Structure 1
Amino acid sequence: MAPTASDSALLDTMRPLTTKEIAEKARNFQWNPNIPLKAWLRTTGTLSQEGQSYLQDGNWGQAYLLYMRYMILVMEYLPSHPEFKTPEGKRSVTSLNSSLPNIATHLENIKPIIQRERDEWMEEVKETIRKEQRQKHLADDAKSKSPSKYDQRASRDPALSSGRLLDAGDNQGLAVELAQKEIRRRDATRKATRKAGVGHDEEQSRRIAGFWNSWSDDLAAKQAEDEEVFRRQMKSTRSKLDVDDDDDEDDLNGLREYTRSHSRPSQAPSSRASSYKYPTIAKSEPIQYEALKPYSRTTPTPPTQLPLRPPKVGVPYQHEASSSPTPEPRHPAKEQMHPDRSLPTPLEPPKDLPPLPPKVHEEPPAPPKRLTFKPAAYLENGDPIRSIFLSQDLRQRFLNVASENTRRGLEMCGILCGTAVNNALFVTCLLIPEQKCTSDTCETENENSMLEYCMTEDLLMLGWIHTHPTQTCFMSSRDLHTQSGYQVMLPESIAIVCAPTSEPSYGIFRLTHPPGLNHILECRQESTFHAHKIDNLYTGAERPNGHVYEVDDLQFYIHDLRPGARTKTAQHIGI
Structure 2
Amino acid sequence: MSDRTESPAAAAYVPVPISELVDKAMAYEFNATISLRHWAHSAGALMKQARIYDGEQQVGQAYVLYYRYAQLVVNSLWTHPEAKTAAGKKLVTGLMKEIKPVLARLEELRATITQLNREAEARERETARRRDELEQLRRQTERAARPAPPIDDRPGLGAIDDLAVANHPELLPRPPPPRAETAPAEPAEPVAYPSLDSPAVPALPPRPPPAPPTAARVVEHRTTSKTEGGSPLRTLYLPADLRAAFLDLAAPNTARKLETCGILCGKLNRNAFFVTSLVIPDQDSTSDTCATKNEEALFEYLDQHDLFTLGWIHTHPTQTCFLSSVDLHTQNSYQLMLPESIAVVCAPRHEPSWGVFRLTDPPGIGVVSDCRAPGLFHPHPEKNIYTQAGRPSGHVSIRDGLPYKIVDLRGK
TM-score, L = length of structure 1 = 0.55
Distance of aligned partners of 1:34 and 1:362 in 2 relative to their CA distance in 1, 3 Å threshold: closer
Deviation at 1:362, TM superposition (A): 9.0
- Give the 3-state SS of the residue equivalent to 2:220 in structure 1: strand
CA distance in 2: counterparts of 1:522 and 1:469, whole angstroms: 29
Distance of aligned partners of 1:102 and 1:444 in 2 relative to their CA distance in 1, 3 Å threshold: farther
**Greater share of helix:** 1
Deviation at 1:18, TM superposition (A): 2.7
Indicate the residue corresponding to 2:376 in structure 1: 528
CA contact (8 A) 1:57 1:422 kept: yes
Deviation at 1:506, TM superposition (A): 0.4
* Higher gyration radius (CA): 1
Correspondences of 1:210-221 after superposition (within 5 Å): none
Deviation at 1:101, TM superposition (A): 2.6
Deviation at 1:104, TM superposition (A): 2.5
- Give the 3-state SS of the residue equivalent to 1:372 in structure 2: coil
- Give the 3-state SS of the residue equivalent to 2:393 in structure 1: coil
Match of 2:317 among 469, 475, 479: 469
- Give the 3-state SS of the residue equivalent to 1:402 in structure 2: helix
1:447 aligns with 2:295: yes
Match of 1:381 among 213, 218, 229: 229
CA distance in 2: counterparts of 1:414 and 1:97, whole angstroms: 31
For residue 52 of structure 2, what is the amino acid of its counterpart? S
Indicate the residue corresponding to 1:254 in structure 2: none
> What CA deviation, in whole Å up to 9, does each residue of 1:335-381 have, x standing for no partner?
xxxxxxxxxxxxxxxxxxxxxxxxxx998733443212221311100
1:74 aligns with 2:54: no
CA distance in 2: counterparts of 1:491 and 1:473, whole angstroms: 22
Indicate the residue corresponding to 2:189 in structure 1: none
Deviation at 1:111, TM superposition (A): 2.2
- Give the 3-state SS of the residue equivalent to 2:309 in structure 1: strand
Deviation at 1:35, TM superposition (A): 2.6
CA distance in 1: counterparts of 2:111 and 2:358, whole angstroms: 37
1:132 aligns with 2:131: yes
Match of 1:560 among 402, 405, 408: 408
For residue 285 of structure 2, what is the amino acid of its counterpart? C
Distance of aligned partners of 1:363 and 1:519 in 2 relative to their CA distance in 1, 3 Å threshold: closer
Match of 1:365 among 202, 212, 216: 212
Distance of aligned partners of 1:16 and 1:365 in 2 relative to their CA distance in 1, 3 Å threshold: closer
For residue 67 of structure 1, what is the amino acid of its counterpart? Y
Distance of aligned partners of 1:363 and 1:484 in 2 relative to their CA distance in 1, 3 Å threshold: closer
Distance of aligned partners of 1:526 and 1:53 in 2 relative to their CA distance in 1, 3 Å threshold: farther
CA distance in 2: counterparts of 1:521 and 1:132, whole angstroms: 52
Indicate the residue corresponding to 2:117 in structure 1: 118
Correspondences of 1:422-433 after superposition (within 5 Å): 422-433=270-281
Deviation at 1:31, TM superposition (A): 2.1
Correspondences of 1:409-420 after superposition (within 5 Å): 409-420=257-268
CA contact (8 A) 1:50 1:419 kept: no
Aligned CA-pair RMSD? 1.9
> What CA deviation, in whole Å up to 9, does each residue of 1:151-198 have, x standing for no partner?
xxxxxxxxxxxxxxxxxxxxxxxxxxxxxxxxxxxxxxxxxxxxxxxx
CA distance in 2: counterparts of 1:438 and 1:81, whole angstroms: 31
CA contact (8 A) 1:35 1:521 kept: no
Deviation at 1:91, TM superposition (A): 1.7
Distance of aligned partners of 1:102 and 1:435 in 2 relative to their CA distance in 1, 3 Å threshold: farther
> What CA deviation, in whole Å up to 9, does each residue of 1:93-141 have, x standing for no partner?
111112223323432332222122212211211110111122239xxxx
CA distance in 1: counterparts of 2:34 and 2:240, whole angstroms: 32
For residue 393 of structure 1, what is the amino acid of its counterpart? D
- Give the 3-state SS of the residue equivalent to 1:518 in structure 2: helix
Match of 1:487 among 335, 339, 345: 335
CA distance in 2: counterparts of 1:111 and 1:127, whole angstroms: 24
CA distance in 1: counterparts of 2:363 and 2:33, whole angstroms: 18
CA distance in 1: counterparts of 2:374 and 2:92, whole angstroms: 27
> What CA deviation, in whole Å up to 9, does each residue of 1:357-409 have, x standing for no partner?
xxxx9987334432122213111001110111011111011112211111111
Indicate the residue corresponding to 1:397 in structure 2: 245
CA contact (8 A) 1:49 1:459 kept: no
CA distance in 2: counterparts of 1:413 and 1:556, whole angstroms: 17
Match of 2:345 among 488, 491, 497: 497
> What CA deviation, in whole Å up to 9, does each residue of 1:56-104 have, x standing for no partner?
2211110110111000000001111122112221121111112223323
Distance of aligned partners of 1:373 and 1:102 in 2 relative to their CA distance in 1, 3 Å threshold: same
CA contact (8 A) 1:432 1:562 kept: yes
CA distance in 1: counterparts of 2:277 and 2:108, whole angstroms: 32
Number of equivalences: 328
CA distance in 2: counterparts of 1:362 and 1:371, whole angstroms: 22
> What CA deviation, in whole Å up to 9, does each residue of 1:245-294 have, x standing for no partner?
xxxxxxxxxxxxxxxxxxxxxxxxxxxxxxxxxxxxxxxxxxxxxxxxxx
For residue 274 of structure 2, what is the amino acid of its counterpart? F
For residue 77 of structure 1, what is the amino acid of its counterpart? S
CA distance in 1: counterparts of 2:17 and 2:332, whole angstroms: 31
Is the deviation greater in 68-77 or in 372-381? 372-381
Deviation at 1:432, TM superposition (A): 1.1
For residue 54 of structure 1, what is the amino acid of its counterpart? Y
Structure 2: unaligned runs, 5 residues or longer: 1-12, 137-207
CA contact (8 A) 1:512 1:539 kept: yes
CA distance in 2: counterparts of 1:18 and 1:363, whole angstroms: 25
CA distance in 2: counterparts of 1:450 and 1:432, whole angstroms: 9
Deviation at 1:494, TM superposition (A): 0.4
Deviation at 1:549, TM superposition (A): 0.8
Percent identical among aligned pairs is: 45
For residue 365 of structure 1, what is the amino acid of its counterpart? P
Correspondences of 1:192-341 after superposition (within 5 Å): none
> What CA deviation, in whole Å up to 9, does each residue of 1:525-574 have, x standing for no partner?
1311100121111000000111111111211111122225xxxxxxxxxx
- Give the 3-state SS of the residue equivalent to 2:338 in structure 1: coil
CA distance in 2: counterparts of 1:473 and 1:460, whole angstroms: 26
CA distance in 1: counterparts of 2:284 and 2:55, whole angstroms: 38
CA distance in 2: counterparts of 1:455 and 1:105, whole angstroms: 24
